[in-house]
Amino acid sequence: MITEAGTDPKVAGLVYVAAFAPDKGESVSSLIANPVPGNDAPPILPPTGGYLLLDKTKFATAFAADVDAETAAFMADAQVPWGVDALSGAVTEPAWKSKPSWYLQVRDDKMIPHPAQEFMSNRAGAIGVEVPGSHAIYVSNPRAVADIVQQAASSVESAET
Amino acid identity of 148? I
d(CA 148, CA 59) in angstroms, rounded, equals 26
Q: What are the sequence ranges of the domains in the chain?
A: 2-23+38-160
Q: What are the φ/ψ torsions at residue 131 (nearest 5 degrees)?
A: -140, 155
| pLDDT confidence of residue 23 | 96
With 80 as the cut, is the pLDDT of residue 158 above it?
no
Average pLDDT over every residue of 58-81: 97
Average pLDDT over residues 65-72: 98
Query: What pTM, to 2 d.p., does this model score?
Result: 0.92
Indicate the residue type of 147.
D
Coil vs helix vs strand at 131: strand
Residue 94 in contact with residue 3, Cβ under 8 Å? Answer: yes
The closest alpha carbon to 145, from 124, 160, 131, 159, belongs to 131
In the predicted model, is pLDDT for residue 161 greater than 70?
Answer: no
Element (H, E) at 85: helix 84-88
**Are the C-beta atoms of 112 and 22 separated by less than 8 Å?**
no
CA 56 – CA 112 distance, rounded (Å): 18
Largest alpha-carbon pair distance within the chain? 50
Each residue of 8-60: pLDDT tens digit? 999 999 999 999 999 999 999 898 887 777 777 889 999 999 999 999 999 99
**Which option is the CATH number for 2-23+38-160: 1.20.120.160, 3.40.50.720, 3.40.50.1820, 3.60.21.10?**
3.40.50.1820
Which of 38-42, 82-86, 94-98 shows the lowest mean pLDDT across its residues? 38-42
CA distance 81 to 29: 16
Give the full edge-to-edge strand order of the sheet including 101-106: 14-17, 101-106, 127-131
